[in-house]
Amino acid sequence: MRSEVTKERLMGILHADKEEMNEVTREACIAEFSRVAGEYFETEGDVAMEIKRGRSSSEVSVTFRANRVKNFTIVK
């Protein structure tokens, strides 16, 4: 039992060490993407973010469901 807890803690530490973005930053980033998406779309559900690490850069994908686009009207 105790070895399982220790193993889980170690795996968590190793996983966090490999990540470029810690959990607090990740949550803040997703919250900001969600806020911006809500300005342009009527969104449904949660915003998800995936980071794929490459050799010299990372690919970041943000996904969410949108019911409609919020078009802006320009007043002259």
Mean pLDDT, the chain, rounded, equals: 86
Residue 10 has a pLDDT of: 75
- Condensed to tens digits (0 to 9), the pLDDT of residues 30-47 reads 999 999 999 999 999 999
Count the Cβ atoms, other than its own, within 10 Å of residue 10. Answer: 10
* Contact present, 61 and 50 (Cβ < 8 Å): yes
pTM: 0.66
Residue 19 has a pLDDT of: 60
Q: What are the sequence ranges of the domains in the chain?
A: 2-69
